[in-house]
Every structure is written in C-alpha cells, then in structure tokens.
Amino acid sequence: MEKNSIFKYTIEDLENILSENGFNKFAAKQIYDWIYVKLENDFNNMTNLSKGLREFLIENYTAQPLKDLVVKESTDGTIKILFMLDDKRTIETVLMPQKYGQSVCVTTQVGCKMACKFCASGLIKTERNLETDEIVRQIFTMNKLLKDKYSYDPENPRARVSHIVVMGIGEPMDNFDNVMKFVNIVNDQKGFQIGARHITISTCGVVPKIKQFADLKTQVNLAISLHAPNNEVRNQMMPINRAFPIEKLIDSVKYYIEVTNRRITFEYILIDNVNDLPEHALELSKLIRGINGYVNLIPYNEVEENPYKQSTKIEQFFKILKKQGINAIVRKEFGADIDAACGQLRAKREGVIGNEI
C-alpha cells in the first residue's frame, strides 16, 4: 500500500483523519509539535502518542525529508541544494542568511513553462506541479540542516527558517491550490510558526490568479516579476506578457492593493542594454507612480546559454527612480559563485547549460 506524506496535511486535516480512525483529534497538535517544532520524522520516537496511533502512522504515512543530490555553499553563506523527489525528478531550494534570520527560496514546479528568456528555469520543460508536501518538505529539510549546523535552539534565529520567498523554479500562481495550502501549513502557530508577513509569493503576472489571491485577503506579501516598463520589451523577455500585457497586469496590481490595502513589490532584473536604459527608468517611474509599492532592482545572474549580461548601469537606474520619487532598493546578490540563480544548478545537472555535474 502506498503511504501518504504527513506533510500534505493541515492540522485540521489531521484532526479529521484521527477522528475518523478512532483516535483523539487532540493528537494532531502533538504530531505537529513533533514534526514542525522538534523536527522529528520517525513516528517511533513520538513518545507521547499512544502505541496504537504510532502504529497507525507508521502503517499509513511517511515523514521523510527530501533527498539531497548536490549541496553547494557560497562564500557569503548561501546554501543551494538540488533535491531528488520521490519520483526521481529534481528541484532546487536556496537558503539565504539575512541579518534578520534565515530566508528560504522554495520551488513550486518541476520545470517552468513561463519560458522567460533570461532564466535558467525555463530551459527545461515543465514536467508537473509540486504537491503540497513536496513544497513543505523543502522547509522541513532546510530546518534539519540548520539544526545540525547551529545546534538546535528555538531562540536562535539562525537555527530555523524565519522567512520564505516563493520564487524558485516554476510559477507559483500556476500551482495555486498547492501553494496556498503550503502557506497555511508553514504559517500554522502549532507548526513552523512562520508569520504570513514573512512569506512572499512572486508571480510573472498570471492576472486571474493575482485577483483570486487578493480576494483571500491574507497577510502574505505579493511580488510581481515585472522586468520591463513596456509591452515591447516585456514581450521579448517574458512570453506571458502576450497573454497578460502590462496594462492588465497593472490593473490586477491596483485591484490587489485596493482589496488588501497592502504594499506590493516590483521585481526588476537589470539586463545590460535591454531594460536598463535611462528611458526605461523614466518609463517605469511613470508606469507605477501612485501605486503603493517599491521596486526591487536585481543584478542579473548570468546564464551561459543566454545572451544577456548583467547591467553596468544599476546605480544610474536606481538614481533616476529615486529622483522620480519611486521607492527602490538594489537587492544584494546571493550565491553567485554556486549557481544560485533560479534553475541553474538543475539545468547544469541535466546537461542543459554548462558542464554536467
């Protein structure tokens, strides 16, 4: 009999399963504590559960971390792991040490059908969505790594994942239901206790899902991968823009802000002589002026098989935005020496870019 991963269930799901099988539903909170607080993945060791419940869990469920194939650690402390899923497919997860704690960038799909021209993720075709448990297990496995690295201390912000960015391989809004269930699980106060405001979901611009996300009225942050100030440039860089052009995307952003009253982030990768000219900065300023948000300027992490190069005009672009009254920051680069950009490690292992590993 195929066993289900325990990581796919909310605490309410577990309560219902236990109740339906003759167990006290209170045990769901105990199971959550063992898994998400104590990071215990062996049901035999969950000693405050009855023997009958432990046998039930062993017979029907698994709680295994993901299997790592490649682990790379940068000189800046960034750790990138190539994980193997149960069906032998591979995904990437990145841990980025911050002043405020540990941030993890999670993957939501095997491959990415958005096919953004500058991104390594789209070099390998989309094979499937990740299930909820496969996204949750990325955080669980990274927490296990941190526990080993820092010696477990719940008071030490370095010893546990504190922030999540859903910006890895895949388009999160293309796997909406599994991503939102993942958010509910990692946000649960009986579990990882990662605050909604410490979670950011990024999208290339799937307009209907942005509006659906807005209607949920969560406290989860939203980031828009904009990367261009007009349709002409964005069409060249991001095929999704042909389905949802900038005008529709900006309308959905305004709808999100109106419904949620929350600030939004515009992600903008600066690529040399493609989207980084002074006129692009002025056009971007005009496009988003009056919107409650800010621009996150990102130095491009070059991919061998793509012709794009990192901009040499980042500071100039930033100054123009500031002069135009636009809130902007320049994102710190993480893991440039370990292929930390989206999809690079997986694409190298598959032999799609560079030398196979």
Detail the residues annotated as belonging to a binding site.
Answer: 112, 116, 119, 170-171, 202, 225-227, 301
List b or e across 9-35, with b for residues whose CB sees 16 or more CB atoms inside 10 angstroms: bbbeebbebbeeeebeeebbebbbebb
Q: For this structure, is 105 an active site residue?
A: no
- Of 269, 332, 268, 337, nearest to 306 by C-alpha is 269
Q: What angle do CA 149, 153, 155 make, to 5 degrees?
A: 125
Whether the Cβ atoms of residue 265 and residue 222 lie closer than 8 Å to each other: yes
Residue 342 annotated among the catalytic residues of the structure? yes
Binding residues for [4Fe-4S] cluster: 112, 116, 119
Report, in this order, helix, strand and coil percent for the chain, each rounded to 5. Answer: 40, 20, 40
Residue tagged active-site, from 20, 73, 92, 279: 92
Question: Which DSSP letter does residue 99 get?
Answer: T
Other beta carbons within 10 Å of 190: 14
Provide the CA 233 distance to its chain's centre, in angstroms.
Answer: 26
d(CA 36, CA 41): 9
Q: Which residues define the annotated binding site for S-adenosyl-L-methionine?
A: 170-171, 202, 225-227, 301
Residue 176 is given by DSSP the state H
Q: If DSSP codes are grouped into helix, strand and coil, which group holds residue 171?
A: coil
Q: Which of 105, 131, 134, 342 is catalytic?
A: 342
CA 336 to chain centre: 18
Active site residue ranges: 92, 342
